Amino acid sequence: MRRLLRGNVALRVFLLLYLLSCFGLSLVSCITVNTPAELHASKGDTVTLSCTFTSTSRPTSKMSVDWSYRPQSGGPPQAFFHFSSRAFPPSDGQFGNRIRWQGAPARGDASISLLNATLNDNGTYTCSVRNPPDVHGSPSSHTVLTVTPLAPSIRFSDVAVLLAFVLLPSAIVTIVLIGRMLCPKKRRDQSKSHRSPIEVTEGEEYVHQPEVKRATCCDIYLMESDDEAEYYLKKRPPMDEGYAESQF
């Protein structure tokens, strides 16, 4: 009889504990928040700080979202954004007028946007979500933002100036070199085709008078010193005989 009573008591205790555990689990649920581990951006970009959460309870007006920032140099976190039924972005300070609410609590989204990112924005950003009665689990998550200087871009005007200073002198030098190479070649070809001034044929003597041709600037420039002297002697007018005898 006593054994039977003891068995009934043990069964009742077991049932009571089971009911308490089930009732307790129904009251206390878990929430999980997720953010990317790292984000990279360039100076001046608009950065989306993504934050998603899962909860066993449907989001209500009691749900809240908080974002905090800790500088890369270290120090305590600084809260700069709060959401509870509506967004409360910062109006002054480091993030003044640069935060936009992008979240949708019904879809489990608590993201925000950071406008005009600067190098001072480097650091760790923490997203915290509370959705009573979900008070346990992982209500916050961290993401590290790295902002780098904007890569310099080459403008069209810079390219045009660079081409003008490089290609134009090169083109002028090339034209001059080609001209100097062609002028001597032309002169050598003319000298080869020039016939002897005195041609002797069978039975008679024939004196060939060379055709007088006006020298060009290129020919004068390329003449050697002897050729120049001969050229100016030919061009000088004949001296009067009477004047020559008076000199003696």
- Number of C-beta neighbours around residue 3 at 10 A: 7
**Could you tell me the pTM of the whole model?**
0.54
Question: Which CATH number goes with the domain that contains 120?
Answer: 2.60.40.10
Examine residue 97 and state whether it is found in any structural domain, yes or no. Answer: yes
| Local confidence pLDDT in tens for the 248 residues of the chain | 455 445 455 546 544 554 444 344 444 568 999 999 999 999 999 999 999 999 988 888 889 999 999 999 988 999 999 999 999 999 999 999 999 999 999 999 999 999 999 999 999 999 999 998 887 778 999 999 999 998 776 565 666 777 777 777 888 888 888 877 777 655 555 555 555 444 444 544 545 555 555 555 555 555 544 555 555 555 555 555 554 444 44
Examine residue 87 and state whether it is found in any structural domain, yes or no. Answer: yes
pLDDT score of 8: 55
Secondary structure, 3-state, 123-136: EEEEEEEEECCEEE
Show the domain range for 130: 27-148
Give the separation between CA 234 and CA 210, rounded to whole angstroms: 13
Examine residue 164 and state whether it is found in any structural domain, yes or no. Answer: no
Examine residue 81 and state whether it is found in any structural domain, yes or no. Answer: yes
pLDDT score of 26: 42
The count of structural domains within the chain is 1
Examine residue 223 and state whether it is found in any structural domain, yes or no. Answer: no
Report the SS3 class of residue 140.
strand
Examine residue 140 and state whether it is found in any structural domain, yes or no. Answer: yes
Q: Find out whether 80 and 88 touch, Cβ atoms under 8 Å.
A: no
Q: Which residue has the tokens 């925000």?
A: 112
Question: In b/e form, how buried is each residue of 173-198, taking b as 16+ CB within 10 angstroms?
Answer: eeeeeeeeeebeeeeeeeeeeeeeee
Examine residue 61 and state whether it is found in any structural domain, yes or no. Answer: yes
pLDDT score of 49: 97
Examine residue 80 and state whether it is found in any structural domain, yes or no. Answer: yes
Give the separation between CA 120 and CA 72, rounded to whole angstroms: 9
